[in-house]
Amino acid sequence: MSLLSVRDLTVKFSNRGQSVTALNGISFDIARGERVGVVGESGAGKSITGFAMMNLLSRPGYIDGGQVLFEGKDVLKMSAREQRSLRGNRMAMIFQDPMVTLNPVLTIGQQMVETLRAHRKLSHEEARQIATVKLKEVYIPSPEARLDQYPHELSGGMRQRIVIAMALLLDPQLIIADEPTTALDVTIQADIMELLLEMCRSNMVGLMLITHDLGVVSQVTERTLVMYAGRIIEAGKTRSIINDPQHPYTQGLINALPQQTPPGSRLKQIPGSMPSLNAMPSGCPFHPRCPLANDLCRTTMPKVVQYADVEVACHEVQRLQSDLTSEAAQ
Amino acid sequence: MTPKDTGALLQIRNLEKRFDVDSGFLESLKFRGGKIVRDTTSVHAVNDISFDIGRGEAVCVVGESGCGKSTVARMVANLLQPSGGSITYDGQRIDTLKGRDLLPIRKKIQMVFQNPYASLNPRMTIGQTLEEPTKYHNPDANAGEVRDKVAAVMKSVGVDPNWAARYSHELSGGQRQRIAIARALTVDPEFIVADEPISALDVSIQAQVLNLMLEMQEKHDITYLFITHDLSVVEHFGTKVVVLYLGSICEVADTRTLFAAPKHPYTKALLSAVPQLKDDKPNHIRLKGEIPTPINLPSGCPFQTRCPMANERCRVEKPASVTQPDGSLVACHAVEEGRTEPGIESGVKEAV
């Protein structure tokens, strides 16, 4: 049984009686200790997926159907009490900006002790000791002293390390990290990613890494989901997706990177931009920007098919696949 | 050191910028040794940097946040007054110009900012945004000429001129940045200072904007000063790279030389930290500690507190930029002395 299993999750946002669909029936699994990357551009629905998994969406967003099964139990059907004991404890979340995540008027120690004592029967002293150990694990120098400092006294990289330590406090089974290094410099990003990778490996923690950076996904994750306009359009092993992407959007995303073209020459750009939620095109949401789009793409949403190691939702790939099977039949 | 004229289009010599952090005169007064003394605390954002930009070049300034790269950009665009040093453009000193004397320079040097959501006035239509600089810098132009100019510029950046009546909130991020670039182009500049112009944009949109900038360079022969923290963009776009750390120059080199054979230990660490697409075993050089505050600069080399090769000399003496055999300028005692440290060499591709 997989650790987490999302089935047909649909999220809508309502505005003055009208509703738009932000997540369109997405399904995926995360196995125990597996590291899964979620990539896509802004507005693809990556962060909403993360929030919906913790049932943390707030108005005007709401879950319109589907299941989020964590160890077989549907998070969305749990009582508020059960959900509280799950969040932070079994599933933890790391957000983009550590300055916003940490409470500026409490010391690091107060925040860590509070989290620990909310879930475990511990004395203040015991909780502080656990906090010190966790800070040491994420390579924070002189952890004892840090506990009495406020977030503003620490640098961005240090703060994000503390956020990771806090996420690991209660030994969760799954960490959802939403763009954990986007606000940080590249040298610090590399440190934080290495740390996250090490923590997940050594503690057998599952990781869902939400990012727009394909380089980061390639170095940290085992499996990747590519999202576009509220749907998963391609999923598979990270190596397969990076080396041999099948969906024209994934191909475009990888080819648009400056590394993929010789210096000085034109980059391979994807024309246009992501459609807005209230003006979703008919058929495949990518068809207005797709170089391979035909009439079928303009009218019908493609189904997900297995092709060359990955699962893809694209009519063109489907056609290639049926050609292949008919060849095999002959 | 006396400023040496190298004939380059833009010459930056011994440029310095300090920002006072005291909020006023009274706060800067300190009581010391029985006397009241005035002691201002300042952020040393840019310290004694010199480099050249030749006509048609695209010089990229890279470094981490707080290294002073945006401050350099703003001083070149004449939005900030340097605390010391000089900036010479086409033989003319521009950092001392004031008021009306600045106008001809503003027409030659234009700036594109990072965030097109903030740099465009939400109350002005696209047309108004583009007409304003056109009219201001060509006071003799009549309304028809201004309109034609705006339409031509919009077309050249790939935005339909019929959109002139729209407001910026009706456009996507990529379209807005095109308008911001179009605004810089309305006065036919020779030189564009671009401060992280693509950092706020998505990957597919970044490619669109970078392509536009390359196209403008070819069409209008524009020289760029490009500020960025994204090294893959530098490798693609830049002809020359200036690596800054804590307001000082570490290394200046041709793009190809820098990526093939980085010399300064900081440049090596920076390059090793870029996540690579195809390589799943990163050889990342981990720097110890953190960037010191620019209020109290470390003595000697600014990088000595984190440098794996630092020794006693680095702690007391600030290294000067030394020209290397391949033409790059490196400010590092270790490189100058040919010091080797096994830890750092193993981390990066060996120089060819």
Residues 6+ apart with CB under 8 A from A169: A88, A112, A115, A116, A130, A131, A134
**Closest chain B residue to the Cα of A189, Cα to Cα:** B273
Q: What is the pLDDT of residues B230-251, one digit of tens each?
A: 888 899 999 999 999 999 999 9
Using a CB-CB distance cutoff of 8 angstroms, which residues of chain B are in contact with residue A155? 290-291
| Dihedral of the alpha carbons of B174, B175, B181, B186, in degrees to the nearest 10 | 170
**Closest chain A residue to the Cα of B173, Cα to Cα:** A273
Instruction: Say yes or no to pLDDT of B350 above 70.
Output: no
Identify the residue among A186, A223, A237, A276 best suited for mutation to test binding to B, counting B beta carbons within 10 A and taking the highest.
Answer: A186
Of A60-74, B9-23, B137-151, B333-347, minimum mean pLDDT range:
B333-347
Using a CB-CB distance cutoff of 8 angstroms, which residues of chain A are in contact with residue B236? 258-259, 261, 263-264, 267
The CATH fold of domain A4-90+170-261+268-276: Rossmann fold (3.40.50)
Please name which of B178, B189, B242 lies closest in space to residue B213, comparing C-alpha atoms: B178
Distances (CA, A) of B165 to B127, B136, B150: 6, 20, 12
Residues 6+ apart with CB under 8 A from B148: none
* Measured distance CA(B159)–CA(B161) in Å, rounded: 6
CB contact under 8 A, A264 and B214: yes
**A42 at B interface, C-beta within 8 A:** yes
Answer whether B274's CB lies under 8 Å from A186's CB.
yes
The per-residue pLDDT for A15 is: 81
Q: How confident is the prediction for chain A on average, in pLDDT?
A: 90
Of B203, B280, B286, the CB nearest to A218: B280
Instruction: Say yes or no to pLDDT of B147 above 80.
Output: yes
Question: Is-cis flag, bond preceding A248, omega within 30?
Answer: no
Q: What is the pLDDT of residues B67-109, one digit of tens each?
A: 899 999 999 999 999 999 999 999 999 999 888 899 899 999 9
The per-residue pLDDT for B4 is: 64
Please name which of B72, B139, B78 lies closest in space to residue B108, comparing C-alpha atoms: B78
Q: What is the pLDDT of residues B173-218, one digit of tens each?
A: 888 888 999 999 999 999 999 998 888 788 888 888 899 899 889 8
The per-residue pLDDT for B209 is: 87
Tell me the shortest Cα–Cα distance from B171 to chain A, in angstroms: 10
**A52 at B interface, C-beta within 8 A:** no
Residue extent(s) of CATH 3.40.50.300 domains in chain B: 55-245
Please name which of A289, A319, A288, A324 lies closest in space to residue A302, comparing C-alpha atoms: A319
Residue extent(s) of CATH 3.40.50.300 domains in chain A: 4-90+170-261+268-276
Better pLDDT: A38 or B207: A38
The one-letter code for the residue type at B95 is D
CB contact under 8 A, B202 and A212: yes
CB contact under 8 A, A190 and B205: no
Using a CB-CB distance cutoff of 8 angstroms, which residues of chain B are in contact with residue A254? 277
Express as a percent the part of chain A with pLDDT over 90. Answer: 59
Tell me the shortest Cα–Cα distance from B195 to chain A, in angstroms: 16
DSSP string for residues in B83-109: SEEEEEETTEE-TT--GGGGHHHHHHE
Answer whether A185's CB lies under 8 Å from B287's CB.
no
Q: What is the pLDDT averaged over residues B44-56?
A: 93
Residues 6+ apart with CB under 8 A from B267: B243, B250, B251, B258
Instruction: Say yes or no to pLDDT of B1 above 50.
Output: no
CB contact under 8 A, A269 and B256: no
Q: What is the pLDDT averaged over residues B333-349?
A: 65
Of A189, A190, A261, the CB nearest to B236: A261
Q: What is the pLDDT averaged over residues A144-164?
A: 90
Instruction: Say yes or no to pLDDT of A226 above 90.
Output: yes
Order of strands, edge to edge, in the sheet holding B84-89?
B42-53, B10-20, B84-89, B92-93
* Measured distance CA(A172)–CA(A170) in Å, rounded: 6
Better pLDDT: B276 or A102: A102
DSSP string for residues in A38-52: EE--TTSSHHHHHHH
Instruction: Say yes or no to pLDDT of B344 above 80.
Output: no
Better pLDDT: A308 or A256: A256
* Measured distance CA(B138)–CA(B118) in Å, rounded: 26
How does residue B280 score in pLDDT terms, banded at 50, 70 and 90? low
Q: Where are the alpha helices (DSSP H) in chain A?
A: 46-53, 80-86, 98-101, 108-119, 124-137, 143-147, 156-168, 186-203, 214-220, 238-243, 248-255, 295-299, 315-329
Q: How confident is the prediction for chain B on average, in pLDDT?
A: 87
Instruction: Say yes or no to pLDDT of A41 above 90.
Output: no
Tell me the shortest Cα–Cα distance from B231 to chain A, in angstroms: 9
* Measured distance CA(A128)–CA(B112) in Å, rounded: 49
* Measured distance CA(A318)–CA(A304) in Å, rounded: 8
- Taking any CB pair shorter than 8 Å as contact, residues of chain B touching chain A are 64-65, 172-175, 202-208, 210-211, 214-215, 229, 231-233, 235-237, 255-256, 269-270, 272-280, 282, 284, 286-287, 290-291
How does residue A285 score in pLDDT terms, banded at 50, 70 and 90? very high
Instruction: Say yes or no to pLDDT of A88 above 90.
Output: no
* Measured distance CA(B300)–CA(B322) in Å, rounded: 16
Q: What is the pLDDT of residues A108-130, one digit of tens each?
A: 999 999 999 999 999 999 999 99
CATH of domain B55-245: 3.40.50.300
* Measured distance CA(A104)–CA(A154) in Å, rounded: 11
Instruction: Say yes or no to pLDDT of B24 above 80.
Output: no
Using a CB-CB distance cutoff of 8 angstroms, which residues of chain A are in contact with residue B214? 264, 266
User: Which helix (DSSP H) or strand (DSSP E) does residue B330 occupy?
Assistant: strand B329-330
The interface pTM score, or ipTM, of the predicted complex is 0.79
The per-residue pLDDT for B89 is: 94
How does residue A137 score in pLDDT terms, banded at 50, 70 and 90? confident
Please name which of B202, B190, B233 lies closest in space to residue B54, comparing C-alpha atoms: B190
How does residue B351 score in pLDDT terms, banded at 50, 70 and 90? very low
Better pLDDT: A4 or B343: A4
The per-residue pLDDT for B345 is: 44
CB contact under 8 A, A239 and B282: no
